[in-house]
Structure 1
Amino acid sequence: MSVSSPPSAREVSELVMANRAIRAPYYQADHDDGVRFTDLEKGLQWGADVVPAMLGLFRVERDVRDDHIDGWVGFARHWRGGTLRLDFDLFSGSEESEPIAVVTAVSGRKGENTVADEDFGEIELPDHVPTQEEWEDREKQYQKARRNDDTDGSAAVEAYIAALPGWKREFATRFDELVRREVPHVRRAVRYHQPFYGVEDNGWFASFSAFSKHVKLSFVCETHLEPEPPSGTAPQRQALDLTETDTLDEEQVASWIRQAADDPGMNW
């Protein structure tokens, strides 16, 4: 897929169904910005709203904002009558294959025939509004495709790391490099909105996640590591929290990676 011009709605849908769409680390659900439609009082959700919307986009545009030079914006009708705006990047990693759609934000827009968008002005809406059954069927199709997917998820992990800012990206990159060095045939994938590392047929043994002030390196195994990491209360929840001013003890982390990989604690 070329990203020099707006991808078609069909191309975006194909990426989602190929399990090549992830939620960005800084993903935002803007459901309280003054333009939400009132039926979505509980906010917009990744699974229930974003995925079905990406499978039903009617318009895709290049993001015109100066600080989103690699971004795209899509619009979809929601079954409750409103419109969703989805912001996403198309990340092309080292492998020669289709990019990863990294969704950065979703927000609601009011309007029956047209909607007003701050970046693209007045947008005419298609006549067809999906029914709730059609909306839920899209989600079911996606979940079935995900369950049947046994491909390597390295590109998604690379996209997730690339989306991290500054020092968080540096820690994540080094952790990813250590895992791949210590476990040469590691399987990588983004699960539950964070990267996971596993041993084929044995399960996942490590993951990491980024928060506002720290990065958490987690080890998922059946027994306690030696020595035990400073965070966590059980073998499957052992972790090391790193702040911007911390130094990564690579020798110790490498030892924990090897131990956890020998005894993974989470099934596929």
Structure 2
Amino acid sequence: MHKLRFLRAGVFAVLFPLLLNTTALAAPVLKLNSSGRDVMLLQQKLQNVGYTIKDIDGIFGEETQRVVTQFQKDNNLRATGIVNNATWRALKDTKSIHHGSIKDKEAQLARIKSQAPSYGPLVANNKPILERSKVSGLISTAKSYIGVPYSFGGATPKAFDCSGYLQYVFGKNGISIPRLADDQYRLGLRTTSKSQLEPGDLVFFTTYEPGPSHCGIYLGNDQFIHASSSRGVRIDSLSNSYWQPRYIGGKHIVK
């Protein structure tokens, strides 16, 4: 299975740039029920830029259509679920996310954690940590970085990953929180429903691995701000078709 994935990845690395460069004016239009090599290349690229597709099988089914539609929404394209020239170009311009092996991932996370900046003593787990009077300032800081690009391991305004963004924003407001999303998930009090969230609370999602692997700050009115892998720091809705099924819970940190 690993060898098959390796071969597919190798084929993809060679063919995808060729496909885009040689068909810039007439990229293949793909839609529901399309099949073949071009569909497989599409599925592999979507997976590489952070979208979940269970089967890289060359069959444009309802799952692929759903993911294409979400990619189009995330990139301000017409959300038709049909892959046209504009969608191919956006895919070409979107950077891939390399997750590597489990050992590589663990080594990367350990290095990120060891290099995390210090903002003073860490706050305690399992209790509110954010003074209500500081919420508006925290949200204002968070919004000031909208548009900053994403980079795995990024923790400065040059580029952020999701947890590095949260740590930086809280640090700018005098609050020291852990560097990684799964450690940040230990903060505050778990909510049992979205209705219990209030602005300043944290929200968590499962994305490229099980458990809390993505995080953001709740803004109210079903919206949250986060460093997305596809578009950098931005505001999205918890009811978004991509984020809603991946939402695993909120942590109430406002006191």
TM norm. shorter chain > 0.5? no
TM-score by length of 2: 0.27
The structure whose residues are more often helix, as a share, is 2
- The structure with the largest strand share of the pair is 1
- Which structure exhibits the higher relative contact order, with contacts defined as CA atoms closer than 8 Å and separated by 6 or more residues? 2
Question: Normalising by structure 1, what TM-score?
Answer: 0.26
